[in-house]
Structure 1
Amino acid sequence: MTDSIEHAMSPQDCLVALMIAVSASDENIRTTELLKIESAVAILPIFDGYDTDRIKAMSTLIFDLFDQEDGLDALFGLLRAHLPERLNETAYALACDVAAADGSLADTEIRLLEEIRDELSLDRLHAAAIERGARARHLRA
């Protein structure tokens, strides 16, 4: 199943897979994170026309990859192959939103965000602005 998904991944699939990876990175996928992923797919223009049934396929892909020793490298390889560079900041913003959705960041989420930032070759200042925006959007009273 992984091979057929790999060859058919759209840029939107990459964004969804990355959000799921961030949610799964601390081995505790929270309802708030799942709702954040679902709402992003439902309302953001980048996902117009996206088949929401693909979310399950991307979840399976991520869980399969994370069961492998080099799963994160494989995920980054898929991103390099299927995510246009123009969507790198979008991908990072979505990843940060999912990480911040539950109001706390686990060390594993922080490390994964650092690796994503590096993998996507984001300027440190731009990444900091994205991170600050995510933090501001998810503050609790």
Structure 2
Amino acid sequence: MSPTTPSLSPQDALAALMIAVSASDENMRTSELLAIQQIVNYLPVFAGYDTDRLRQLAQTVFDLFEVEDGLDALFGLIRDTLPERLNETAYALACDVAASDGKLGETELRMLEEIRHELNIDRLHAAAIERGARARHLTL
């Protein structure tokens, strides 16, 4: 970790992953931002989290996306910070953000695949998580 990269809490790691999924296609949609905000405001894993950190965290993610190997650095920070027992939670949150706008582009799909790989999410578990996200975000 470089001197300019802030240290992350496990909650920061979860939020950074959601921000990264939203930003992966270079178009952070309002529905994705609202999904992140709702997740942070309501899920127990974010109890006591200072939501004012999201802006700084988003800038950190954007800065990492601008440098060579920045995505690898982001995943390194997340792996170093996030307890392994929260890996499936992290993937579920990433899927919820990706599905929140009703569209999954190729870039977001590749990002989700990379997250699965980096967090060692079993393919069968990943399929169940993805199906749940899809079901939660269907519209009439």
TM-score with structure 2 length normalisation?
0.96
CA offsets 1:25-63 (integer angstroms, 9 cap, x no match): 000000000000000000000000000011011101000
1:29 counterpart letter in structure 2: M
- Corresponding residue of 1:69: 68
2:36 counterpart letter in structure 1: I
Equivalent-residue separation in structure 1 for 2:17 and 2:121 (angstroms):
15
- Corresponding residue of 1:3: 3
Equivalent-residue separation in structure 2 for 1:118 and 1:6 (angstroms):
24
| Displaced runs of 4 or more, over 2 A | 2-7
Paired residues of 1:93 and 1:130 also in contact (CA < 8 A): yes
Equivalent-residue separation in structure 2 for 1:137 and 1:15 (angstroms):
19
SS of aligned partner of 1:34: helix
Equivalent-residue separation in structure 2 for 1:35 and 1:5 (angstroms):
26
Q: 1:4 Cα deviation (Å)?
A: 5.6
Equivalent-residue separation in structure 1 for 2:61 and 2:4 (angstroms):
14
Instruction: Label 1:30 to 1:44 Cα distance change in 2 as closer, same or farther (>3 A).
Output: same
- Corresponding residue of 1:43: 42
Equivalent-residue separation in structure 1 for 2:4 and 2:25 (angstroms):
27
- Corresponding residue of 2:94: 95
Question: Where in structure 2 are there 5+ consecutive unaligned residues?
Answer: none
SS of aligned partner of 2:45: helix
Equivalent-residue separation in structure 2 for 1:97 and 1:122 (angstroms):
16
Q: 1:5 Cα deviation (Å)?
A: 4.9
Equivalent-residue separation in structure 2 for 1:125 and 1:114 (angstroms):
13
Equivalent-residue separation in structure 1 for 2:18 and 2:79 (angstroms):
16
RMSD between aligned residues: 1.1
Equivalent-residue separation in structure 1 for 2:3 and 2:54 (angstroms):
16
Q: Number of aligned pairs?
A: 139
2:47 counterpart letter in structure 1: D
1:11 counterpart letter in structure 2: P
- Corresponding residue of 1:137: 136
